Amino acid sequence: MYPGMPDHGEPFTIRPARPSEMATLRDIDDDAGALYAACGLPLDLPPDHVFLRDEGARWLRCTERGQAFLAVDASGTALGFAALGLADGEPYLEQLSVRLAAMRRGIGKRLLEHVADAARAASATALWLTTYAHLPFNRPYYERHGYALVPERDCGPDIRHHLDEQRRYLPEPAQRVAMRRPL
């Protein structure tokens, strides 16, 4: 058990995700996406949609570089993952997803810390992400973990590109924001 993590009877570990596990990452993300649907934001893009293909390609690059991390329980069941990419030369959290049944066990928090540690190990001074501003499990969650909103005018071209792409294809485009955590 990790210090400070509530004991729900099942500890987990974090290990690098392998390129051969891309279907597992997508499955975790699809499962976590049900939370958005429950809030009136169905993410109902077809599997061959350009946004999902591009997203999957970025996750694959993260796994190939050893910068995607999978949380697994004692039986080896995948519970969540984080993928760490680059944007404007700085670490960028491509994705953080936890299965609905595994939420509220500290998995997301540990994955966030794991990617922050990986970024620090690469001598980074900050970690970026994009998310929804209006959902309690997005912006406020990240704020509790040290991230702050960054006005779009203060973002580099890669972060602005991510926001533009997300606003083009995801629901509630005006709610997409950039956040940064100093390391």
**CATH assignment of the domain containing 107:** 3.40.630.30
Residue 8 has pLDDT above 60, yes or no: no
**Residue 173 located in a structural domain:** yes
**In this structure, is residue 18 part of a structural domain?**
yes
Range of the domain at 53: 12-182
Answer whether residue 174 is part of any domain: yes
Statement: residue 136 has pLDDT above 90: no
Least Cα distance to 171 among 81, 34, 44, 24 occurs for 44
- The DSSP secondary structure of 34-103, one letter per residue, reads HHHHHTT------TT-HHHHHHHHHHHHHHHTT-EEEEEETT--EEEEEEEEEETTEEEEEEEEE-GGGT
Is 3 among the domain residues?
Answer: no
Average pLDDT score, the chain: 93
Specify the number of domains making up the chain. Answer: 1
Nearest to 164 by CA among 73, 87, 61, 75: 87
Indicate whether 7 pLDDT > 70: no
Is 1 part of a structural domain of the chain?
no
Q: What is the pTM of this model?
A: 0.91
> Is residue 147 situated within a structural domain?
yes
Residue 4 within a domain: no
Question: Average pLDDT of 38-67?
Answer: 94
The 10s digit of each residue's pLDDT in 57-98 is 999 999 999 999 999 999 999 999 999 999 999 999 999 999
On whether residue 6 sits in a domain, the answer given is no
Average of pLDDT values for 6-22? 82
